[in-house]
Amino acid sequence: MQTKIKTLVKKRRAIILAHNYQPPEIQDIADLCGDSLELSIKAARTDAEVIVFCGVHFMAETASILSPHKTVLLPRKDAGCLMADMIEPVGLQIMMDKLPPMPVVTYVNSTAAVKAISTICCTSANAVDIVNSLDADELIMTPDKNLALYTASQTNKKIHTWDGYCPTHDRLTPEDVYHAKQAYPGAVFMAHPECRPEVLALADAIRSTSGMIRYAKESESASFIVGTEVGLLYPLKKANPDKFFYPASTKMLCKNMKKISLEDVARSLESLEGEVKVPENIRRPAFRAVQRMLDLSLSK
Ligand code: 13P
Ligand code: SF4
């Protein structure tokens, strides 16, 4: 299957991008694995004709927003994101109408239609920088309330939150963390900003997925409790073979991130099945919000 995929990648002049939560065999055939920010940058810059996105729907949509003339394939159309589905443009518009005019910062884990009515996007890697860059003391942040509360704790700005969350991260409780700390004494606890505030209060480091990989590499510690989706254990161990990684809880599994198989990737490359395309009237305003974020992150 791997050889078949390699041949098809060449034939289609394709690139395979995979999120850090994807199954090991998918990460192993990818041209680039990364967090949402790294994958968006690559999607904007590649000269490949076809982008096979191994992740969830909003990630493929973002690639299509940035590279409208390329064919973007999501090998499993049903790989969605429960948090992205927690907000719709109508609801956001109602919230905006109730408040005085202010910027709307939307997490990339959202649909293109929601991005289209937002001022700027952010990812878990750059949320604080994005919010600090805005020339406003008050703003709306959607859809993740946990990321918004974490960002608010790192700035002096007033942030209006939307009541969305990632079920995979929100599931982690302080009790789970206490148990893990008891089981692995001395291990460093790394948490993703999608976790609840009471969990983040227990963390030694709060990072995006790729931020955790870098942190573990640079840290002098040898063992880590990982407060994010369990798929991250694979690239963590790959990048740090001599270190030890333990899930904060095995409940932290995102089923949507596990849907794509090697067979799906091969089928999609063969038949160009699973194309994700954003209509121009939504893509153009959504592009503005995503590009503003990239301009800011790349200039740093
Ligand atoms: P990052 O890899 O950008 O930290 O995102 C985490 C996530 O939940 C993606 O679905
Ligand atoms: Fe969405 Fe959470 Fe799954 Fe990421 S881990 S795709 S935010 S539900």
List pLDDT tens digits, range 157-182.
999 999 999 999 999 999 999 999 99
Give the span between the Cα atoms of 285 and 289, in whole angstroms.
Answer: 7
Does residue 147 have its Cβ closer than 6 Å to ligand 2?
A: no
Quick one: pLDDT at residue 172?
98
Question: What is the model's pTM?
Answer: 0.96
Q: Is the pLDDT of residue 300 over 80?
A: no
The number of residues making up the chain comes to: 300
Q: Which long-range contacts (CB under 8 A, 24 or more apart) does 76-82 make?
A: 76/259, 76/260, 76/264, 76/274, 77/274, 78/259, 79/55, 79/256, 79/257, 79/259, 79/260, 80/56, 80/256, 81/56, 81/57, 81/109, 81/166, 81/256, 82/166, 82/167, 82/256
The token pair that represents 220 in the structure block? 């002098």
| 98-119 mean pLDDT | 98
Q: Is the pLDDT of residue 92 over 90?
A: yes
Which residue's CA is the nearest one to ligand 1's atom 9?
A: 36
Where b means 16+ CB within 10 Å and e means fewer, 212-235 reads bbebbeebeeeebbbbbbbbbbbb
How much is the mean pLDDT over the chain? 96
Nearest partner of 228 among 162, 294, 147, 112, judged by Cα = 147
Nearest partner of 49 among 71, 67, 66, judged by Cα = 71
Confidence of residue 44 (pLDDT cuts 50, 70, 90): confident
Mutate which of 254, 255, 260 for ligand 2? The one with the most ligand atoms within 8 Å of its CB, which is 254
Block residue for tokens 């395979």: 16
Quick one: pLDDT at residue 297?
82
Which residue's CA is the nearest one to ligand 1's atom 4?
A: 208
Quick one: pLDDT at residue 298?
77
Q: Is the separation of the CB atoms in 58 and 109 below 8 Å?
A: yes
